[in-house]
Amino acid sequence: MSSEQIVCDKSDLIENSGVCALVDGEQVAIFYLPTTKQQVFAIANWDPCGKANVLSRGLVGDIKGEIVVASPLHKQHFNLQTGACLEADVSVKAYRASIVDEKVIIA
Amino acid sequence: MSAQKIVVVGNGMVGHHYVDQLIQSDIKADITVLGSETRPAYDRVHLSEVFAGKDPSELAMTTREFYQENQVEAHFGDAVVDIDRANKKAITQSGRQFSYDKLVLATGSYPFVPPIKGSESPECLTYRTIDDLGEIKANAQDSKIGVVVGGGLLGLECANALKNLGLETHVVEFAPGLMGVQLDDSGSKMLRRKIEALDVKVHTQKATSLIDDQGDETKLRMHFADDTHLDTDMIVFSAGIRPYDQLAKKTGLEVGERGGIVIDYHCRTSDSDIFAIGECALYGNMIYGLVAPGYRMAEVAVKQLGNEEEKPSFKGADMSTKLKLLGVDVGSIGDAHGKTSGAISYIFADEKEEIYKRIITSADSKKLLGAVLVGDCAEYDTLLQYFLNEIDLPDNPESMILPNVEGGAPALGASALPMSATICSCHNVSKGDIFSCIDGGCCSVADVKDATKAATGCGGCAALLKNVVDSEMEARGISVDKSICEHFPYTREEIYHLVRVGEIKSFDELIEKHGHGHGCDICKPAVANILASTWNDYVLQNNHVGLQDTNDTFLANMQKDGTYSVVPRIAGGEIKPTQLIAIGQVAEKYNLYTKITGGQRIDLFGARLNELPDIWKELIDAGLETGHAYGKSVRTVKSCVGSTWCRYGVQDSMGQAIDLENRYKGLRSPHKLKFAVSGCTRECAEAQSKDIGIIATEGGWNLYVCGNGGMKPRHADLFATDLDDETLVKYIDRILMFYIKTADRLQRTSVWMENLEGGLDYLKEVVIDDSLGIANTLEQQMAHIVSTYQCEWKTTINDDEKLKRFRQFVNSKTEDSNVVFVEERGQMRPASDDEKTKLIAKSA
Ligand code: SRM
Ligand SMILES: Cc1cc2nc3c(=O)[nH]c(=O)nc-3n(C[C@H](O)[C@H](O)[C@H](O)COP(=O)(O)OP(=O)(O)OC[C@H]3O[C@@H](n4cnc5c(N)ncnc54)[C@H](O)[C@@H]3O)c2cc1C
Ligand code: SF4
Ligand code: FES
C-alpha cells in the first residue's frame, strides 16, 4: 500500500467487532475497540490457518495483555497490533490505523 | 556387581511389564526379549475394541524404539524352542542361541480347542491375538452365522465381537450355565435372559461331537452329543485357556498335573535360575487368568534380582472382576458360589428390570465373602472394598444391594477406606500411594493418573479413583480453579447467578463489576448465551453483537471458505409443498448447494455474506423462519408421523413435535439441544438418543432425558412415564431451565447429568418432587423466554443499520475473489486448493 488513505467512515465500524475493507486490492480487517487507547486496529483479512478471508468476522478480546482476534474458523488468535499468531508459527500483515475527523485512515 | 544377563521368553502383557519394571529398577541387567508374535507387546485385554473401530496399533504397550533406547535386545517372530539348562542357553526356532544368567518364562497361554473331528477346518478359529482378529474379520465377510464355543467371560466377549461384525450369533456351552466360574446359578440365568434379549442365541449343555460341511445353506454343521445340530458359517473356540508350558516340559521343569509351570512364592520354577510369570505359571495349583496377578508376579520376580535382604513374595491374588459383556454389567467378587462353610447369602432379584444381586457373608453377617451382580454393577466398587479390606458390614447387610431402602445403601466414602486399600488393582495403586502423590504436588485426577498409572489398565477403577482424589483435595482445602477464563474468576454457573441476581443486562456491565480486561472468545459467547437465556434480548443488539460466536454474529453457519449455510426451521420436519417450492426457488436463484440434513430439515450452502439478507427476505416472505442452526440453542424436534398416519401409532407424535419445537425454538442454552417424539415404542424418531426424548404410550407420553449422538453417544434415561401433555411440558420446562442454570459452558445434557451429584435421581427430585422449591421459578423463567420469542432474521432484515454489517467490504461492492465454486453431481461446491490455483491461473 502506497500511503495513508481514508477507507471508510467511523460509522461503518462496529463497536468491539470487525469489518472488512478493500484497500488497493488487499482485504483489510478493521476492528474498533472504543475502550482501548488505540481504538482502531487493522490486519490482513486472510486467515493463513483456515485459508479463507474471514479474520474481520472473528471475536476480539485480550489474552494475557495482548489485544487479539480469534479466527472464526478454528479459533487461532492473531495479535491486532503485530499480526502474529499466538498458536502457530505464522503471522499476517498488520497496518497502521487511526480515526481522524470521523474518518478511518489506514497506512 | 556386574550386569546379569536376563533373557525374557514371551513378550505379552506380563513379559513386557517385567521388562518395564526391570528397566525402572536400579538393578544392572543386560536384557534380551524373545517373542514369538511378530509385534511387541500389546493390550490383549482391550482386543475386542478393535471390532468396535479401534485401530490395532492403538493397543501397543511398547515399541521397538523404546526397547532400543533402553538397551534391550529384542527379537520378534522367533519362538524359543528349547532351553539348554546345562549350558544356560535359550535356543530359538531360527537357531539363534542366547545365554542367560536368569531366564524368565512369560509365555502366557493359548485357547483350548477341544479334540472334535472337523475342528481343524479353516472356518474354525480362536481368539487371543491381533492376528486372530484379522482372521475372524476375514471369515466374517462371507458369513451370515457365527458360533462361539464356550460361554465363559472370553466367549461372551467374542460373541459381542461377532455381533458387531453383523453375524447372527450363537453361544454353545457345555455346562448348564453361562460364566459358571464367576456367577452362581441364578446370576447366570439372569445373564442368559439379558443376552438372549439382545438376540444372541444361547445353547447350554451341548457337547459338540462332530463338525462337518453338511449345513443346509451354511458352510458348516455342528453335531451335538444329544443328536441335535446347528448350522453355521464359522466357529470361534473359546473353551478355556491352556498355559504354554511345552518348553518347560521339554527341558524338565516341574509342571502341574493339568498344565502350568509350577512356581514358588518368589516366582521361581524348579530350576532356581528360571522364573515363570503370568498365565503360564501355576501358583498354589492355580492359573491366574487375569492381568493384574500377572503384573504382581512380574514385580515380585524383578525384585528377586536385587540386593535387598527381604525379598517380597507373591501371595496369590484377588480374582474379582467387573465387566460389561454385550452391554450387560456383570460383577463377581471373591467366593461367588458361597462355598465357604457357614456362609450365608442375601439375594435381590428384579425380573422386570432384569437385575440380580447376591452377597455372601460370614456366618455372623459381619464380613463380606463374595458377591454376584448382574444387570447393575453400581455397588461393585463399594462391595469390593468391603471384601478386600475386610471392613465390617453394616447391621443390615442387605441394604448394600437393595434399591432405595430407607436410609439408603451406605455408600463407602473414600475416607472410610484404610490407607492400604487397593484402588487400582491393575497397577497396584493403594489409597496411600495416591495420598503421597497428592503430598508430592499432584492436584487432579489427571496428575495422579500420570504419576501412578492408576486407571490406565482395565479402567474399572476410574470412578473410585476420582472419588478418592476429589474427596482428599476437598479435605485438604485445595480448590481446583474452575474459572471460565482469565477475565472472570467465576464458573459459568456463578456468572449465571451474578447476571440473574444483579439483573445485569450487558457484558460491559458484568466485566466492570465482576471481571477485568476486555474479555475473549471464551467468556464473551458464554456471557452472550447467559444473557440470552435470561433476558432473551435480540442477539444482534448493539451491545451484544460483538459478543456472539462467529455463527451467531451473522445468524448463519460459516463454512470452510468463509461462505455460509442457511437453515430455515421446519418444525417437526413437517413442510408444506409451497414452502418446499419456495426453498427450491431461493436455492436455484442464489445457486446454493442443497441437502437434507440429519435433523429432518433442509440446509442451503454457499451463500455469500452479502447474499444472506436477500435470501432470508425471500424465505420469510414464504412463511419460513430462522432454524437457529447457528446457535447454542434448540435445534430440531425430530418426529415420526405417529397415529395420524401410521398403523402402529398410539398418539399424535407429529402434533406434539411441532408444538414442542415451537415452544422452545430460540431458547439459548449451554450447548445445543435436540428433541424427538416417537408415536409408539418402535421409536422411529430415535427419541432415546436425544437430550429430550418422548415416546407415546397408550396412557400418554414417556419422557427420556439426557441422551445424545455425536462424539460420545449416550442413551437417554427414562425420566417419567405416561405423562399428560400438560405435565410433560411442565417437566421439560423445569429440566431445561435447571440445565441452563447449572450446566457448564458447552456441556451437553448428558455430561451435565453425569456430573450432577446424585445424577438422575437428584434431577427427578428437583423436577418431579420440587425438592429445592424452585419449580415455580423455573417455569416462570421459561414462560418469559417463550413469550419473548422473535425470529432473529425477521428483526434483522427490517433494520437497515443491522444490514450494513452484511457487506463483504465496507467500501466496495466487489465480491471475495477467494470464494470459488466448481460443479459436482449437478450442484456447486467449494473448489479445492488445487482447483482454485488452476481456475485462477486460467482466468488470469
Ligand atoms: C447440517 C448437519 C449435517 C448434515 O449435512 O446433515 C450438521 C452440520 C454441522 N454439525 Fe452436526 N449437523 C447435523 C446433524 C447432527 C446430528 C444428527 C441429529 O441431530 O439428529 C448430530 C448427532 C446428534 C447429537 O447432536 O446428539 C450432530 C452432531 C454434531 C456435533 C457433536 C455434538 C456432540 O455432543 O458430540 C457437533 C459439534 C458441536 O456441536 O460441538 C456438530 C456440529 C455441526 C456444525 C455446526 C459444525 C460447524 O461448526 O460447522 C455443522 C455445521 C452446520 C451447517 O453449516 O449448517 N454436530 N449433528 C446436520 C444439521 C441438522 C439440522 O437440521 O440442524
Ligand atoms: C479377548 C481377551 C479379553 C481379556 N480380558 C481381560 C480382562 O478384562 N481382564 C483381565 O484381567 N484379563 C483379561 N484377559 C486376559 C489377559 O489378556 C491375560 O491375563 C494376559 O494377557 C496374560 O499376560 P501374559 O504375558 O502372561 O500372556 P500373553 O499376553 O498371552 O503373552 C504371552 C506371549 O508369549 C508368547 N510366547 C508363547 N510361547 C513362546 C515361546 N516359546 N517363545 C517366545 N514367545 C512365546 C506368546 O505368543 C505371547 O505373545 C483377556 C484376554 C483376552 C484374550
Ligand atoms: S414410531 Fe410408531 S407411530 Fe411412529 S412411525 Fe414408527 S411405528 Fe409408526
Ligand atoms: S483396576 Fe484396572 S485400571 Fe485400575
Average pLDDT of the residues in B501-520 = 94
Residue pair B632/B547 in contact by the 8 Å Cβ criterion: no
pLDDT value, residue B408: 42
Percentage, residues of chain B above pLDDT 90: 72
How many interface pairs between A and B have CB atoms less than 8 angstroms apart? 97
Q: Which of B89-93, B171-175, B312-316, B442-446 has the lowest mean pLDDT?
A: B442-446
Contact yes or no for B521 and A75 at CB 8 A: yes
Q: Which of B470-479, B629-638, B649-658, B807-816 has the lowest mean pLDDT?
A: B470-479
Q: Which of B8-22, B382-396, B609-623, B641-655 has the lowest mean pLDDT?
A: B382-396
Nearest to A20 among B553, B560, B810 (CB): B810
Task: Judge if the beta carbon of residue B666 lies within 6 A of ligand 2.
Answer: no
> Closest Cα to residue B412, out of B439, B435, B428, B392?
B392
Contact yes or no for A57 and B545 at CB 8 A: no
**Which of A5, A7, A20 would you mutate first to test chain B, the one with the most B CBs within 10 A?**
A20
Atom of ligand 2 minimally distant from the CA of B9 = 43
Residue pair A19/A58 in contact by the 8 Å Cβ criterion: no
What does the block give as the cell for B45?
Answer: 485385554
Fold (CATH) for A5-106: Rieske Iron-sulfur Protein (2.102.10)
Residues 6+ apart with CB under 8 A from A43: A28, A29, A55, A69, A78, A80, A83, A92, A93, A94, A95
Residue A2's pLDDT band, with cuts at 50, 70 and 90, is: low
Instruction: Specify the residue with its C-alpha closest to ligand 2, atom 8.
Output: B45
Contact yes or no for A70 and B818 at CB 8 A: no
**Which of A7, A45, A55, A59 would you mutate first to test chain B, the one with the most B CBs within 10 A?**
A59
Higher pLDDT, B441 or B603: B603
Distance from CA of B842 to the nearest CA of A (A): 20
Instruction: Specify the residue with its C-alpha closest to ligand 4, atom 2.
Output: B458
Q: How far apart are CA B160 and CA B154, in angstroms?
A: 10
Predicted ipTM of the assembly:
0.71
pLDDT value, residue B481: 66
pLDDT at B45 over 60: yes
Residue pair B814/B609 in contact by the 8 Å Cβ criterion: no
Average pLDDT of the residues in B137-147 = 94
Please state, rounded to an integer, the average pLDDT across all residues of chain B: 92
Contact yes or no for A52 and B807 at CB 8 A: no
Helices (H), B48-107: 64-69
**Which of B804, B809, B819, B820 would you mutate first to test chain A, the one with the most A CBs within 10 A?**
B809
B814 neighbourhood in chain A, CB within 8 Å: 22
pLDDT digits (tens, 9 = 90+) for B401-451: 887 654 444 556 677 788 888 888 888 899 999 999 988 888 788 888 888
Average pLDDT of the residues in B583-599 = 97
For residue B665, report the distance from its CA to the centre of ligand 3, in Å: 24
pLDDT value, residue B413: 66
Average pLDDT of the residues in B256-274 = 95
pLDDT value, residue B836: 87
Q: Structural domain boundaries of chain A?
A: 5-106
pLDDT digits (tens, 9 = 90+) for B380-407: 888 998 998 888 888 888 888 887 654 4
What does the block give as the cell for A56?
Answer: 474481520
Return the bridge partners of B4, or none.
B29
B561 neighbourhood in chain A, CB within 8 Å: 52
Contact yes or no for B558 and A72 at CB 8 A: yes
